[in-house]
């Protein structure tokens, strides 16, 4: 919403790893790029009924396919609850017994095939395969204005560090990090959403730290924080 208020616009929102349609619902509730067409991409045939119903009502589009940096077929490991279904070998240690072969293509090919109108907003949530999707989306990135990708903090490959390097090399700048994910077992940070904007559209260099009418209040808060810390330290010293 911050970028929308800054004047960023899109004709197509491409929802990669759309699952049951949560991002479409969020867009509807928050009025995110309300005039843009929504296009669902997901490897699970089980979700097609949802996309078909939405297409009849809202003129959305969809394709049931996995996305990567190649065309053909891949094996996906199927999470019985769907949320962690992923291309085989992308995640170490998963115990899902069920798997199946699904079609896979590049995002560039999909965009061309469906004649999707730029500029694009890309949302990626494909359980470890996000950077492979972007490797197959070089032409699409040239016509995109926002990319938001779920990414792992530590894995055997394609972590946040690799994503930052790839996007920087493609002419994109990190804008925000949100939706921090922690293990329920010990609160280890393991994933986040990273949002990027084109360097050519980066408006932040001229953004002030605070506005003139905010400065007095902000400085008062900082002074109060310093005084509170010093007082707490004095009490700690007195208690020995």
Superfamily of domain 2-205: Vaccinia Virus protein VP39 (3.40.50.150)
The two structure tokens encoding residue 168: 């920087």
Per-residue confidence band for 88, with pLDDT thresholds at 50, 70 and 90: very low
Per-residue confidence band for 81, with pLDDT thresholds at 50, 70 and 90: low
pTM exceeds 0.95 for this model:
no
Q: Cα(207)–Cα(123) distance, rounded to whole angstroms?
A: 26
pLDDT (tens digit per residue) in 173-224:
999 999 999 999 999 999 999 999 999 999 999 899 999 999 999 999 999 9
pLDDT > 90: percent of the chain: 80
Check if the beta carbon of residue 146 is closer than 8 Å to that of residue 27. Answer: no
Report the 3 state secondary structure along 83-113. Answer: CCCEECCCCCCCCCCCEEEEEEECHHHHHHH
Mean pLDDT (the chain, rounded): 91
SS3 52: helix
* Structure confidence at residue 84 (pLDDT): 53
**Contacts for 79 with CB less than 8 Å, ≥ 6 apart:** 85, 86, 96
Check if the beta carbon of residue 77 is closer than 8 Å to that of residue 99. Answer: yes
Average pLDDT over residues 103-130: 96
**Contacts for 120 with CB less than 8 Å, ≥ 6 apart:** 10, 11, 12, 13, 14, 111, 140, 143, 144, 145
Q: Spell out the domain ranges in the chain.
A: 2-205, 208-240
Per-residue confidence band for 90, with pLDDT thresholds at 50, 70 and 90: low
- What is the helix (H) or strand (E) element at residue 150, kind and residue range? strand 144-152
Locate tokens 């279904």: which residue? 85
Average pLDDT over residues 225-231: 98
C-alpha dihedral sign at 84, 86, 90, 92: positive
Q: Cα(175)–Cα(113) distance, rounded to whole angstroms?
A: 30
């Amino acid at each position: 919403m911050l970028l929308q208020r800054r004047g960023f616009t899109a004709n197509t929102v491409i929802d990669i790893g759309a699952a049951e349609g949560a991002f479409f619902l969020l867009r509807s509730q928050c009025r995110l790029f309300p005039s843009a067409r929504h296009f669902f991409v997901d490897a699970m045939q089980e979700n097609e009924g949802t996309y078909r119903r939405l297409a009849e009502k809202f003129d959305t589009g969809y394709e049931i396919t996995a996305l990567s940096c190649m065309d053909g077929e891949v094996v996906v490991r199927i999470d019985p609850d769907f949320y962690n279904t992923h291309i085989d070998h992308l995640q170490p240690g998963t115990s899902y017994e069920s798997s199946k072969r699904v079609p896979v293509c590049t995002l560039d090919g999909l965009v061309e095939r469906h004649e999707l109108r730029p500029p694009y907003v890309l949302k990626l949530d494909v359980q470890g395969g996000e950077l492979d999707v972007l490797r197959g989306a070089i032409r699409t990135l040239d016509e995109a204005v926002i990319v938001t990708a779920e990414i792992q903090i530590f894995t055997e490959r394609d972590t946040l560090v690799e994503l930052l390097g790839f996007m920087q090399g493609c002419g994109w700048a990190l804008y925000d990090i949100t939706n921090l994910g922690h293990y329920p077992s010990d609160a280890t940070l393991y994933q986040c959403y990273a949002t990027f904007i084109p360097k050519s559209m980066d408006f932040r260099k001229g953004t002030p730290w605070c506005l003139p009418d905010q400065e007095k209040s902000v400085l008062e808060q900082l002074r109060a924080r310093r005084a509170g810390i010093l007082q707490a330290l004095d009490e700690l010293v007195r208690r020995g």
